[in-house]
Structure 1
Amino acid sequence: MARPHIEPFVDRDISFKRLDLKGIPPGYNYKMLSMDEDTGACTMSVQWDAGYRQPPSVCYSDLEIFIMDGTMKIGEKLCHKGEYLFIPRGVSMPSFSTETGCFALVMYNDTEPHLIESDEDIPGANRSELIQVQAYEGLSWEVPTLFPRTASGCLLKLLRFDHKTHAMTFLYTMTPGFRQDNISYHDCAEEAYHIWGSSWMMQFGDLPTGGYFWRPAYINHGAFYSEHGILGFGRTDGELHNHFHWNPYSTPEENAHRAAARFIRQKPELHKWLWAHGHNHIDFEYPDDIYNLESENERIHSHIHSELHKLGIPHSHEDS
């Protein structure tokens, strides 16, 4: 999910464009919210016109869809606002159609938008990972179990959790009068879209209905306030750990070094073991994945260096 920092952005400020790509039926209109220029992976707000028809199809990217207004018939099921789908790459989906039109968030996680007409899964596709859930009616709001925790009044509905990477897709709400007065950053990229409501953030101002951000790792954000509350859709590409602090002037590089220092301080034995065994770290649950950077220090430095390049921030290439 390597994309530039976009914050704040409001999709109500731009017009829809027609998505004119091979395999995409007419009536597919989009607003581009963020895009990885290397892979084409992207997040869009999409308006399907009344009468839109899409045959059974498959794509070579994980695909996420969240319906925000209107209805979409998927196979024999009529889906309303609040319907969420995670479609693993290579998994065939039945026909899509809408009589009245449909407005949704659409996320291609690996490639540019595309559809290939097919009613069969691609060999190797993992259909067991397919998710389809009515989030508004079928899930309850929960107090986040993340620690350190956000202030009281922020609630989650977890839509998808990747047990391998701890990446998450979720709905979240700030209740009226929500306030958090510290500053946070994370070790992962984070994105969010305001389905309804407005909130204020010290660094970036007001984010209203239709507001969006794509925030790479180690970017300061907060304090926060919402007078009337908000309903939002969010995603991360890794574990969402809240690194709270009170310095609004710290840089992403300083934040990354602080995160690395905290890792060494809080998990000293794991750090020592990684330093002493710098090659071929194998997770027996995922034996095909081998982590073989020279040391944990290099792993941390490589991650920090990569994030700083994504952000275009000047920094030293000397070993620290």
Structure 2
Amino acid sequence: MENQGNSVSQEDTEDFLNIPSVKEDWGGDGRGRMNLSGRGTAISKKYVPRQYQYFDTKTVPEERVWRINGIPENVAHGSRRLLTWHDCGASTSRVVLPPQFEAPSGFFTADLEIFILAGAIQIGEWQLHKHGYSFIPAGVKVGDWKVLGGEAVEILWMENGSLKYKNASNNHPDARLNEFIPALDSKLLAWGKTDTVQFVQANKKWLRKDANGGGTWLLAILPHYDGRYPEIQCYNEDAYCLAGYCDIGDFRFVKDCFGYVPSFTTSPWHRTDDGCLFFIRVDRDLSKPGTVLSYPH
């Protein structure tokens, strides 16, 4: 994509599976390949260590003519609001694809995660509807794309590296097919317990777990939740509010609000009377002691 989200020039993409990931700045080795460390945001172009960034995505300027990097020019363009990015090319965006959008099969040169906020899309033989999720590892060939239902589809679009479309009839021979999640309907998943004592009054649905034990999930915070204290978050996090509200410090998260939280940030007190639903990405295993610390001072 011709924008800040893909600032790295990558003329030769043949070796894309061997491009090293950014090592997580909490001391990780990059195995998770999420590249969430050290990102700029829509409200802070320059990365600010240990400082949370909360904002309403509806206020982010919209790039009205946007195409997947490398996609044929005859494919209808979409629009995009760029939320976070890293110099390696990784980014998180809110993307809208129009009703007439159709794109040919092929693969991408970086891992791609998509979560449907509204509408529906078909990718090959699989359909994704509201709150559907897919993880497409680099080099895994997927079928034709087509927006369904005569209405635009809105997607949380997460590129985990410098992503480019490549026309291909087969998977790359070294693609991580074992990690491919074609179409996951999150509404069919059971709710489970969270991993931290700070969120006992919440439930969690795993969508994907990465090699570091982090990954992607839905978090439902129950009504009358009170976190009581700020917390030190020893990991990087993307958080998108899907429904309800949660007050985090002086900022009220409501639908379409977004948070980027870098490693070792002290996040303010969380509380809600009515409850809320979040889409979460984290690059560390939160079940391990010392990753989330209540901080009453």
Give me the whole-angstrom Cα distance separating, in 1, the residues matched to 2:99 and 2:61.
Answer: 18
Alignment of 1:270-289 (within 5 A): none
Deviation at 1:102, TM superposition (A): 0.7
**What residue identity is the alignment partner of 1:228?**
D
More helix by share: 1
Aligned to 1:104: 155
Return the match for 1:34 from 76, 84, 91.
84
CA contact (8 A) 1:60 1:89 kept: yes
Aligned to 1:11: 57
Give me the whole-angstrom Cα distance separating, in 2, the residues matched to 1:124 and 1:29.
Answer: 32
Please identify the structure whose Cα radius of gyration is greater.
Answer: 1
Aligned to 2:129: 80
**Structure 1 residues 22, 191: CA separation in 2 closer, same or farther (over 3 Å shift)?**
closer
**What residue identity is the alignment partner of 1:236?**
V
Instruction: Tell me whether 1:130 sits opposite 2:206 in the alignment.
Output: no
Taking every aligned residue pair, what percent have the same amino acid on both sides?
Answer: 23
Alignment of 1:79-228 (within 5 A): 79-99=128-148, 100-111=151-162, 113-144=163-194, 146-147=195-196, 149-162=197-210, 164-202=211-249, 204-228=250-274
CA contact (8 A) 2:202 2:219 kept: yes
Q: Relative CO higher for 1 or 2, CA cutoff 8 Å, sep ≥ 6? A: 2
Secondary structure, counterpart of 2:58 in structure 1: helix
Give me the whole-angstrom Cα distance separating, in 2, the residues matched to 1:90 and 1:151.
Answer: 37
Give me the whole-angstrom Cα distance separating, in 2, the residues matched to 1:161 and 1:29.
Answer: 29
Give me the whole-angstrom Cα distance separating, in 2, the residues matched to 1:27 and 1:115.
Answer: 14
**What residue identity is the alignment partner of 1:180?**
G
RMSD, matched Cα? 1.7
Give me the whole-angstrom Cα distance separating, in 2, the residues matched to 1:161 and 1:78.
Answer: 22
Secondary structure, counterpart of 1:238 in structure 2: coil
TM-score by length of 1: 0.71
Aligned to 2:295: 245
Instruction: Tell me whether 1:231 sits opposite 2:277 in the alignment.
Output: yes
Deviations 1:218-272 (A, max 9, x none): 101131112222111001112222112212xxxxxxxxxxxxxxxxxxxxxxxxx
Instruction: Tell me whether 1:47 sits opposite 2:93 in the alignment.
Output: no
Give me the whole-angstrom Cα distance separating, in 2, the residues matched to 1:191 and 1:165.
Answer: 16
Corresponding residue pairs, total: 241
**What residue identity is the alignment partner of 1:78?**
Q
Deviations 1:154-204 (A, max 9, x none): 111001112x311211011112222111121222111100112221112x5
Return the match for 1:63 from 84, 93, 112.
112
Deviation at 1:125, TM superposition (A): 0.6
Deviation at 1:21, TM superposition (A): 5.5
TM-score by length of 2: 0.76
**Structure 1 residues 228, 119: CA separation in 2 closer, same or farther (over 3 Å shift)?**
farther
Give structure 1 stretches of 5+ with no counterpart.
248-320
Deviations 1:247-298 (A, max 9, x none): 2xxxxxxxxxxxxxxxxxxxxxxxxxxxxxxxxxxxxxxxxxxxxxxxxxxx
CA contact (8 A) 2:133 2:186 kept: no
Give me the whole-angstrom Cα distance separating, in 1, the residues matched to 2:140 and 2:82.
Answer: 24
Give me the whole-angstrom Cα distance separating, in 2, the residues matched to 1:59 and 1:133.
Answer: 17
